A and B are shown apart, each in its own frame.
Chain A
Amino acid sequence: MNLDAKIPVGELSEKWTKYKSSIPLVSPANKRRIDVIVVGTGLAGAAAAASLGELGYNVHCFTFHDSPRRAHSIAAQGGINAAKNYQNDGDSVYRLFYDTIKGGDYRAREANVYRLAEVSASIIDQAVAQGVPFAREYGGLLENRSFGGVQVSRTFYARGQTGQQLLIGAYQALARQVSLGNVKLYNRHEMLDLVIIDGKARGIIARNLLTGKLERFGGHAVVLGTGGYGNVFYLSTNAMGSNVTAAWKSVKRGALMANPCFTQIHPTCIPVSGDYQSKLTLMSESLRNDGRVWVPKNISDAQAIQQGKKTGAQIPEADRDYFLERRYPAFGNLVPRDVASRAAKVECDKGHGVSPTGLAVFLDFGAAIERYGKSKANVLGIHNATPNQITELGEAVVSEKYGNLFEMYEKITGENPYKTPMKIYPAVHYTMGGLWVDYNLETNIPGLFATGECNFSDHGANRLGASALMQGLADGYFVLPYTIGVFLSQEIRTPKIDTQHQAFVEAEQNVTHTLNQLINVKGNQSVEALHKKLGKIMWEYCGMARNKEGLTKARTMIQDLKKEFWSDVYVPGTANEFNPELEKAMRVADFIELGELMVMDAANRNESCGGHFREEYQDEGGETLRDDENYKYVANWSWPNGQDEAKLYIEPLKYEFIKIAARNYK
């Protein structure tokens, strides 16, 4: 297979501008005759569908949700990056590009990342114009804050609900195109197969979730914006419905899956509290701006806390180990996520954890409350303020910044984080891996495009905070609407796609067959129970730390689980009705296969980089050891039959513009 990333030649800073103006155009009259299918209404999908509609294409947009506004993007909290340099603190397109490449541990493509940094500023402008109520200073200008892995303030935010506000902006843009008749929206429709005619993506089979009916949709091109696959771990911060099915069905039709083992484990989540738990809740990274992470220095103190005999507040300052500040003085609590997560795991593994399970560390706002309290007292002209007054004033400032997160924490745990430090632990959060795409965001199947979290493009082996929203919107608003022209300009003579074509018939039969198979097993285990089993294997062997032996074992375990699934799953009801259990069953069946591929990928990559930590490859300090000589590549897997060995296709990464170095946050 010829894997051409189609990176334009020339200076890094000129590639996109020059390329963009050389992309062939499709005339307005022709656009009206071209159908584009967009699957997904998250930031990536909604932005793409709206923008393509504005351009005049005939857009058909799908979501399995009951409304486009419920896509998982809605849950993003902390913020979105952009190289605006409004703070005059030395930010630039180049710096955002550099931070992102370095944060990704030198496993992302230079040209794609540079383009991302370049268009980032326009995203903010667009969102403001749509009515996104970003945080503002008293002077009326936009406010910023810092996120992990960087030393400038370039993160724009809307309280702790940035994803919600950005998605509502994109949703409204989409609604406008629906009202104008440029986009037709299909809620509660789930794509269950990709249709390929003469080697090109020409449509999808979707199940109308309300009736259970399979429906055929033809298009000149298909765009996926179907999100990430963190739920392969069962427990993650992703919404319950997030799944890999659309991408996986494409893999089954020949698309390549890139770096599937690159998973992000987020350091600040509410720890697991019991077996019944259905999902994990993120506490936004923005909290690390003001929260300090620590564990007790003495194991005896940790044990007392675990047994409920002591609280964090009772541990004197001298007996606290602020381990991130100690190990990484330059970045302190704001090291990238992979680094922070591993450091927390190390402390807990040594016995310093602070929850009944021993799997938690403190995130403490005591110092911030005091600092803000003092400065507020000064502003108010209260000299010799009492400690109580200072605390009160400080808590008010912290509440203004993070109020909704503190509230959420209290709702879930029943503890007041203003008074006792939060307890946090790493959890699966984001998947850097995804469908392989070239510079045009086109997969190796002509006419099939992938945007947002479902592609692999920009984050290498670790994503920096506030960069997923940026990438989703960059892809959807500012990249895909242009680059899709490269393909579509060659399709102006292609008539409307005929859904009576044999390929549609075959794909529909294929889906019917799988659905019936799932219903007919009539075994004894719920889908949920089997999903939990998969999650346990993935977390244990392919989670925060991996090694060859464990991965080999995991592969056999997953293969066994696959057999168990197909012989013992119980799916109630029929395929011809509203049936949420059947929906879940299809998704879990795909997760199981994906899980096996992730394990293969992790075993193949004999190095540690970013979120992929292979225990065999670390230095004396426990930091990741990359192997640039042998693994400076994107690992792309072809596995259409889901059996035997998957085939690996390598895309070597070339660094022409930055010098690649060991990642150092010390």
Chain B
Amino acid sequence: MSALHLNLKVWRQKNQQSKGEFQTYQVEANEHMSFLEMMDVLNQDLIEKKKEPVAFDHDCREGICGACSMVINGKPHGPLSGTTTCQLHMRHFKDGETIVVEPFRAKAFPIVRDLVVDRSSFDRIIQAGGFISVNTGQAIDGNAIPIDKDTASKSFDAAACIGCGACVAACPNGSAMLFTSAKISHLGLLPQGKMEHTRRVNNMVSQMDEEGFGFCSNIGACEAECPKGISLENIARMNRGYIKASLLD
């Protein structure tokens, strides 16, 4: 097992009001560790020296909860495509390398501390209409409406979004179009979700604007950095829905 000696340049910021700065640390890791386990090693070391550990969000460490959120060497979730920070392993780094670690930066994601940001704006976008209006107990039999396999599969592809916000962090405009459009596709493609489609698009888009997310200028950085392969097609689909919605207004 080969050891990796790394130089970490980590963004440290006490809270939203204070000014942040990079601090440099030396860490010894090995290739089998995940990136977060390497950060654990750093924190253990800091704690042993009675210093403040680096705060970062994480939970499942399996690439599914969407909590982890680091910009590594300029890329949200780091260099490996289709991979969240927690699933990134140190075998993709070289001995002696300098690694720059920053939070997901966006106007609508204020910094809480160090690498932790507040992404509750995403929750509010969903609350604006990212659901199907059905109460518990009202449902008909699950097989009453057959859904063809390809449609279900397309809907699933969009539903695979983990709400991490890498798309926003990757976008020079800080736009949340990929996230929002993924939800709109997930629900809008299914017969159960069609009914409310136009209303949903309208409400979610206006909430997105209200939260301070930027506009979309078709750069495509979101798709490139999305760990779950959410496709730009969703944005096109959403725009079609939005145009239809504004014509109805």
Contacts and interface: CB of A to CB of B under 8 A. Distances in A.
Given A66-B119, A187-B120, A572-B50, A126 B137 contact: yes
Given A72-B60, A239-B61, A581 B53 contact: yes
A66 B139 contact: no
Interface stretch (A157-165, A457-465, A537-545, A558-566): A157-165
A178 B130 CA distance: 12
Contacts of A172: 126, 130-132
A178 B147 CA distance: 29
B60 A133 contact: no
A125 B139 contact: yes
B203 to A, nearest CB: 9
A572 B50 CA distance: 7
B47 A277 contact: no
A239 B60 contact: yes
A142 B142 contact: yes
B44 interface: yes
A122 B48 contact: no
Interface stretch (B31-39, B70-78, B95-103, B233-241): B31-39
B151 to A, nearest CB: 9
B138 A129 contact: yes
A582 to B, nearest CB: 11
B127 interface: yes
Contact of A572 (B53, B59, B193): B53
A59 B245 CA distance: 33
Contact of A126 (B51, B65, B136, B149): B136
B155 A133 contact: yes
A240 B146 contact: no
A54 B149 contact: no
A10 to B, nearest CB: 23
Contacts of B152: 133-136
Given A70-B66, A526-B48, A130 B134 contact: yes
Contacts of A580: 53, 55
A230 interface: no
A139 B48 CA distance: 60
A133 B186 contact: yes
B87 interface: yes
A355 to B, nearest CB: 12
Contacts of A129: 132, 134, 138-140, 192
Interface string A136-170: 11111110000000000000001101011100100
Interface residues of A, number: 79
A122 B139 contact: yes
A61 B186 CA distance: 26
Given A66-B119, A131-B186, A477-B136, A281 B62 contact: yes
B213 interface: no
A412 B64 contact: no
B59 A124 contact: no
Nearest to B66: A70
A67 interface: yes
A408 B63 contact: yes
Given A70-B67, A140-B149, A75 B60 contact: yes
Interface string A172-193: 1101101100000101000000
A463 to B, nearest CB: 20
A218 interface: no
Contacts of A414: 89, 91
Contact of B190 (A75, A131, A168): A131
A528 B187 CA distance: 41
B15 interface: yes
A411 interface: yes
Nearest to A356: B1
Contacts of A68: 123
Contacts of A477: 136-137
Interface centre among A129, A165, A239, A240 (most CB of B within 10 A): A129
Contacts of A175: 123, 126-127, 130-131
Interface in B5-47: 15, 30, 32-34, 36-37, 40-41, 44, 47
Contacts of A50: 136
Nearest to B126: A175
B55 A69 contact: no
Interface in A248-294: 273-274, 276-279, 281
Given A173-B136, A210-B112, A578-B55, A140 B47 contact: no
Pick the most buried of A66, A84, A136: most chain B CB atoms within 10 A of its CB: A66
A187 to B, nearest CB: 6
Interface of A: 47, 50-51, 54, 65-70, 72, 74-75, 84, 86, 122, 124-131, 133-142, 158-159, 161, 163-165, 168, 171-173, 175-176, 178-179, 185, 187, 210, 239-241, 273-274, 276-279, 281, 408, 411-412, 414, 477-478, 481, 524, 526, 528-529, 570, 572-573, 577-578, 580-581
Given A126-B136, A168-B159, 9 more contacts: A66-B120, A72-B59, A130-B192, A140-B149, A241-B59, A276-B33, A478-B136, A528-B40, A578-B112
5 contacts: A125-B142, A129-B138, A131-B132, A137-B149, A278-B34
What are the nearest 5 A-B pairs in CB distance?
Answer: A140-B146, A129-B139, A172-B131, A125-B139, A133-B156
